[in-house]
Amino acid sequence: MRLSLVLATHRSTNTALSRICEWASLDPARFEFVVRDNSEDERKRSFLSAIDSGCMRLHFVKQCPMGENMREALALATGDFVFLVSDDDWLSTRGLTGLYEMADSIGDDRSVGCLIGDYLVESRQGSCLFRYCGLDAVDRIGRIGSYLKANSPNMLNYCAARREYGNLCKSLFERFPYQFSFDDQLVSLLYLTLGRVAQVRRVVYGYDLGEWETTEKALAKDRSFYVDSGLPAEYDRLHYLLLGLEGALLLQSKLVAERVAGDNSTAASLWFKTMYWKFAHYSREVGYEQNAANAATQRLKESLAGRKEVEVRQLLLDVCETFRVCDPAGAQRYFDFWSSL
């Protein structure tokens, strides 16, 4: 049994280098530390090459997009479980040891898909500890329901997942027609659907709220994803509607049906109804411009308010029509992907 810590690194700051030094000290009999550096920084390369580590596997490559660097780094991992980390992450080495010991005790129990610990959450107001509850339930509806009830950011994304699940989610993420800020929640939903989440009672990961700490900053961050995807920021009005739709379609997909026995319609309905409630009740009406995207998204929201029930396949068509106003090619990609998944 081995646990792979996977780092797609670009930064050359002292903080980033210190993290690498710390993780390079992990027990090589238990851990593999994959480092794929695309900074092309010769000083960093010289520094990392001088580290004496039994667990670290260094790979220096040319500059490339962050997603590509992460995908290729993950492909290099050989451990039974993989933990994707970033340059600025904080991990407890004792917590990682706890995760390894749990993984070793679980062995070939395929009902367990992910391993997590407790989370140290940092904000301007102070620090606190957070622990998920109910994610080890045998029933996947119970796991998804417990996740939806958690009053926290999506920290399940920071976990040790079985390597095949990590590769599945990474390849799926890259195929999404649009890269929105909530895609990590869909990855977590897939993890919860594929298996139980075992938890060690020890802090493993430190999460800094940072840009997500205030409503204003969170909205700005969310909207930047829409703009980077080629859509006007006004499509942010549909944020939770899109999250609900994509999650429900994912649960009802052939991809999930091939891997999980049984009917997923109840889980899909639970996910969609939770996100639809947020769409209907959480106001995001700040700073929108009077443009075609604003009119189209407002029109869709008003039409949904008059419906007693919302069927996700029909909603997919409605959403694609709304995308088509500003991005006809993207609307077609969106329909093709989600209707054939």
Residue 144: pLDDT over 90? yes
Instruction: Identify the pLDDT of residue 23.
Output: 95
Over residues 272-300, the mean pLDDT reads 93
- Report angle CA 202, 29, 67 to the nearest 5 degrees: 70
pLDDT at 24: 95
Instruction: Please give the pLDDT value at position 263.
Output: 86
The DSSP secondary structure of 268-286, one letter per residue, reads HHHHHHHHHHHHHHS---S
Residue 13 has what pLDDT?
93
Structure tokens at 127: 């620090």
Taking CA 275 as the corner, what is the angle to CA 168 and CA 255, rounded to the nearest 5 degrees?
Answer: 25
CA dihedral 247, 341, 180, 39 (to 10 degrees): 130
Place of tokens 């958690």: 150
If you average pLDDT over residues 74-92, what whole number do you get?
92
pLDDT at 205 (0 to 100) = 94
Q: Is the dihedral of CA 90, 93, 94, 98 positive or negative?
A: positive
- Which are the contacts of 234, defined by CB distance < 8 A and separation ≥ 6? 288, 289, 291, 293, 294, 297
pLDDT tens readout for residues 17-26: 999 999 999 9
Query: Residue 69: phi, psi to the nearest 5?
Result: -60, -40
DSSP state of 161: E
Q: Which long-range contacts (CB under 8 A, 24 or more apart) does 171-176 make?
A: 171/71, 172/255, 173/67, 174/67, 174/71, 175/337, 176/337
Question: Phi and psi dihedrals of 197, rounded to 5?
Answer: -110, 110
| Structure confidence at residue 5 as a pLDDT band (50, 70, 90) | very high
**Residue 287 binned pLDDT confidence (cut-offs 50, 70, 90):** confident
Distance of alpha carbon 306 from its chain centroid, rounded? 33
* Reported confidence tier of residue 185, pLDDT bands at 50, 70, 90: very high
Task: Specify the range with the lowest mean pLDDT, choosing from 25-39, 137-151, 202-216.
Answer: 202-216
Cα gap 101→107, rounded to integer Å: 10
* pLDDT(262) > 90: no
* Percent of the chain residues past pLDDT 70, beyond the cut: 100
Q: Label residue 306 by pLDDT band (50, 70, 90).
A: confident
Q: Please provide the size of the chain in residues.
A: 341
Judged against a pLDDT cut of 90, whether residue 125 lies above it is answered with no
Integer Cα distance of 208 and 121 in angstroms: 6
Q: Give kind and range of the element (H or E) at residue 144.
A: helix 140-149
3-state helix, strand, coil in the chain (%, to 5): 50, 15, 30
- Ordered by start, the domain boundaries in the chain are 1-86, 89-213, 215-340
